[in-house]
Amino acid sequence: MVELKAKWLKKAVIPSTVIEHPSPGNLQSTRLALHVNDDNNSSCWVYVASGCHIYRLLIPMKSSLINLGKGDLLIPEQCEVLEASVVNRCPHRSEIQSIVLAETESTGCLTLGSVDSYGHLIVSRLDASSKDVNRLTYSVSPRDCGVGEGSWAGLCFNPTQWSMAAVAHSFSKTVDVYDQDIHLRTLRTLSYPSSLMFIQSFSGGGESSVLAIAEGCQLSIWDLRMNEKGGCVRRICGSVGDILYAVCNSSKGTIATGGADRTVTVYDPRRWSAISRWLNCSKYEITGLAFSSIDPEYVYVQGVDYEVFCGRWRESKKIFSYRGDSNWLGFSKCSDRDVLGGWCDSGSIFVADIHGVN
């Protein structure tokens, strides 16, 4: 079995001249995305959203020794932000709630999506280097034209068709699916959506037409190819009264949820039955989850307080952990490798690189 270990852990402070006071956001820590540069993996770009703006920060990734504190807690090494700038491609009018960064088929090109508290979506194609070149940018106004109350909004791209995006708006209890700026359909949830993602189709085909949505204490599964029941094909109830805040899936197809019950539940999508429950693994509510890209038997868990830890979910065993210096405003993992990024309301950025040891 592969054993995961932290290669290094860095801590950098965003200069106050860039972001003086981060906006509070919502409980879900969905306002950070990161991309590792291809130049010998010497640095990574971290994107964070505060207020109506997205900021891009360059963090060094030079390997260093890991220092351990009490209880084998990882101690970060201080470093400086190499570059910092505002991404001028995202003119939102209200507070940004979620950002997502995806690598497209085009080499050296990234897709950056952001959605604000009224459900306004902006998608930009960016250069993976430090140059902000002019590429395709489009925006989509919310279906209700922004009328109503601002609330948490989430975003996910279809991994097999990057032009397709799903936008969840908590207040209106809707999930809108778009192909670029063309509206395809609206899914209406029973409760307030709090997390969403595309998963592989049941038929095992190459296309992803199935959405997993965390709404209230339920995990609902929606097939975009179906019209019966609005497209909802399955509802799985978690702990009654405990809201789910995070959902993720692994390369093997397993799906994990976490939320107010502080429990990570892993499901087999072939039977939609729970194959593992890691009870009370976090001290506070779970708002971030990600399976390891090295070995999907491991999962990264981020709590609403300061902690992030890695563990084997089948054995309910923690492997290592580290802590931020204040509440998390953003948490994310690279899509194809085990590099974790977190942003605290103190202005600190934490980046960890994890590797496997046989």
Q: How confident is the model over 7-16, as pLDDT tens digits?
A: 999 999 999 9
Q: Is 204 left (phi over 0), alpha (psi -120 to 50) or beta?
A: left
With the C-alpha atoms ordered 91, 96, 98, 101, is the resulting torsion angle positive or negative?
positive
Q: Which pLDDT does position 307 carry in this prediction?
A: 92
Phi and psi dihedrals of 230, rounded to 5?
A: 75, 5
Give the span between the Cα atoms of 54 and 230, in whole angstroms.
34
DSSP conformational letter for 230: G
Give the span between the Cα atoms of 352 and 226, in whole angstroms.
41
Give helix then strand counts, H and E, for the chain: 0, 31
Nearest alpha carbon to residue 189 among 209, 172, 205: 172
Give the span between the Cα atoms of 254 and 225, in whole angstroms.
21
Tokens of 163: 């032009």
Q: Which pLDDT does position 205 carry in this prediction?
A: 53
Q: How confident is the model over 227-253, as pLDDT tens digits?
A: 888 899 999 988 787 899 999 999 888
Q: Which pLDDT does position 114 carry in this prediction?
A: 96
Give the span between the Cα atoms of 196 and 289, in whole angstroms.
12
Q: How confident is the model over 48-88, as pLDDT tens digits?
A: 999 999 999 999 988 777 888 887 799 999 999 999 999 88
Radius of gyration of the chain (CA): 19
Nearest alpha carbon to residue 104 among 125, 87, 122: 125
Which residue has 């640095």 as its token pair?
A: 43
The answer to whether 181 touches 138, Cβ cutoff 8 Å, is: yes
DSSP letters along 279-343, please? TT-SSS-EEEEEE-SS-TTEEEEEESSSEEEEEETTTTEEEEEEE-SS-EEEEEE-SSS-EEEEE
Total residues found in the chain within this entry = 358
Give the span between the Cα atoms of 178 and 343, in whole angstroms.
29
Q: List per-block mean pLDDT (blocks of 10 residues) for the chain, which spans 358 residues.
A: 90 93 90 84 90 93 81 89 87 93 73 93 79 71 77 93 92 94 94 92 64 95 89 89 92 93 93 92 94 95 92 95 93 92 94 90
DSSP conformational letter for 82: S
pTM for the structure as a whole:
0.93
Tokens of 16: 């106050």
Residue 32: strand, helix, or coil? strand
User: What pairing do the DSSP bridges indicate for beta strands 83-87 and 53-60?
Assistant: antiparallel
Order of all β-strands in the sheet with 83-87? 32-36, 43-50, 53-60, 83-87
Give the span between the Cα atoms of 126 and 146, in whole angstroms.
27
Tokens of 274: 């729970």
Q: Which pLDDT does position 129 carry in this prediction?
A: 64
DSSP conformational letter for 243: P
All structural domains of the chain, each given as residue ranges with its CATH number in brackets, are 3-357 (2.130.10.10)
**215 strand-pairing partners:** 193, 218
Q: Which pLDDT does position 335 carry in this prediction?
A: 85
Give the span between the Cα atoms of 98 and 140, in whole angstroms.
15
With the C-alpha atoms ordered 28, 343, 83, 35, is the resulting torsion angle positive or negative?
negative
Q: Which pLDDT does position 130 carry in this prediction?
A: 47
